Amino acid sequence: MSRPLNRRLLLVFAHPDDESVFAAGVVCRTVAGGGRVALCTATPGEHGKLGDPPVCSRENLGRARQAELMEACRILGISTIRLLGYPDRALAVAPADTIRRQLVEVIRAVRPQVVATFEPNGTNLHPDHVAISRFAGDAVSAAADARWYPELGKPHTIARLAWTLPVRPWAVLRRGDPAPEPGVDFAIDVEAFARRKAAALRAHRSQHITIDRIFFSKPDRGRLLSVELFRQAFGPRLGSVPETDLFAGIAGRLS
Ligand SMILES: [Zn+2]
């Protein structure tokens, strides 16, 4: 008899706000179901927008954005947060051995069934998004292999790697039914958590210009905040596409 799944989700993203833009609803769903969510954020985003009016000076933006991220994580119920501290807009030249080791350490400690990260082109071709996708895939493989970093604990094989879509998900949602769009393997109803997703997005005060442009200035913002879309990189075969649960096909396999 299979035991109920103790759901564990690890998000691996580049900047503070990526987690709220792409996955806040899935985080809330996982936590509401008794699961745990951990987040690795690779850079403090110190070269991002300052806000209008600016929330702080340029030199303080990295620190301010980390504080915004902590507030967003508190709102969403993310229990484990690792800030890797790499320079913004230069993640592609981060030392591969160092970041692999950091991510393997997190994967073996959290032991997630599902890891979610950017798809290989970063959804919007942002070089940091592209870089973290590659580093995450590399670390998922290394975490499963006892020959890598035996001092970092028992190997761990995840059940599913989920990617963001190859195109901006809000553009897909705006066109109507996401099901026939390329790469939509998961269309997850997060309407019950739309207000919490909105609050997490608003916690990223310095990024309000972008976040308003994507979500809050749009007449269909209710819908944009109510569905999250992912693609399967690898994992159990999908029963129907799009699936409605990021843990579909995993329940009972791991506990
Ligand atoms: Zn980003």
User: pLDDT tens for residues 186-239?
Assistant: 999 999 999 999 999 999 999 999 999 999 999 999 999 999 999 999 999 999
Using the mean position of ligand 1's atoms as its centre, give its distance from the Cα of residue 177 in Å.
25
Residue 3 has pLDDT above 60, yes or no: no
Does residue 253 fall inside a structural domain?
A: no
Residue of 101, 88, 11, 1 whose CA lies nearest to 45: 88
Angle at 26 (CA atoms; ends 236, 171), nearest 5 degrees: 95
Residue 253: its pLDDT value, please?
53
Does residue 239 fall inside a structural domain?
A: no
Does residue 96 fall inside a structural domain?
A: yes
* CATH number of the domain that residue 164 is part of: 3.40.50.10320
Is residue 5 very low, low, confident or very high in pLDDT (cuts 50, 70, 90)? Answer: confident
Using the mean position of ligand 1's atoms as its centre, give its distance from the Cα of residue 18 in Å.
5
Residue 255 has pLDDT above 70, yes or no: no
Using the mean position of ligand 1's atoms as its centre, give its distance from the Cα of residue 118 in Å.
9
Residue 240 has pLDDT above 60, yes or no: yes
* Section 163-190 average pLDDT: 94
Is residue 182 very low, low, confident or very high in pLDDT (cuts 50, 70, 90)? Answer: confident
Using the mean position of ligand 1's atoms as its centre, give its distance from the Cα of residue 45 in Å.
8
Residue 1 has pLDDT above 50, yes or no: no
Using the mean position of ligand 1's atoms as its centre, give its distance from the Cα of residue 128 in Å.
7
Determine the Cα–Cα distance for residues 45 and 135; give it in Å rounded to an integer. Answer: 18
Does residue 35 fall inside a structural domain?
A: yes
Structural domain range at position 161: 8-234
Does residue 255 fall inside a structural domain?
A: no
Using the mean position of ligand 1's atoms as its centre, give its distance from the Cα of residue 176 in Å.
25
Strands 160-163 and 114-117, by their bridges, are parallel
* Section 146-171 average pLDDT: 97
Using the mean position of ligand 1's atoms as its centre, give its distance from the Cα of residue 254 in Å.
31
Residue type, 183: G
Residue 130 has pLDDT above 60, yes or no: yes
Does residue 189 fall inside a structural domain?
A: yes
Using the mean position of ligand 1's atoms as its centre, give its distance from the Cα of residue 17 in Å.
7
Count of domains for the chain: 1
Helix axes 194-203, 61-76, angle to 10 degrees: 160
- Other C-beta atoms within 10 Å of 214: how many? 18
Does residue 245 fall inside a structural domain?
A: no
Does residue 246 fall inside a structural domain?
A: no
Residue type, 87: P
* Section 103-128 average pLDDT: 97
* Section 95-101 average pLDDT: 98
Rounded to two decimals, the pTM is 0.96
Using the mean position of ligand 1's atoms as its centre, give its distance from the Cα of residue 154 in Å.
31
Determine the Cα–Cα distance for residues 240 and 235; give it in Å rounded to an integer. Answer: 14
Mean pLDDT of the chain: 95
